[in-house]
Amino acid sequence: MAKLTIAHYVLAGFVVAGFTALTGLLLYFKGDMPEYLQETFYLLVGAWISAFITVVQYWFGSSKGSADKNATIERIRNGGNQ
């Protein structure tokens, strides 16, 4: 199993920070944004929401549980409770 590197943490932090910033911008402008930018901005926000959900599901969801399970199986396979 591959170990997590600092890049994993930085990327996850970047996604969360970007989601927070875009949400803040959305609340700040509250419809004052030019119409020609609204559709593009909403598309960008939707993509960031998708990335944010993926990060949250990995760190707190079934992917993290699966990684923990695989690590436990590997530890048992290699000789017990190390």
Name the pLDDT band for 81 (thresholds 50, 70, 90): low
Tell me the C-alpha distance between 79 and 82, whole Å.
Answer: 8
**CA-to-CA dists, residue 47 to 9, 22, 32, 51, angstroms:** 20, 11, 21, 6
pLDDT in tens, 33-76: 788 888 888 888 888 888 888 888 877 777 777 878 888 888 88
Q: Is the pTM of this model over 0.75?
A: no
Q: What letter would DSSP give residue 69?
A: H
| Domain ranges (residues) in the chain | 6-77
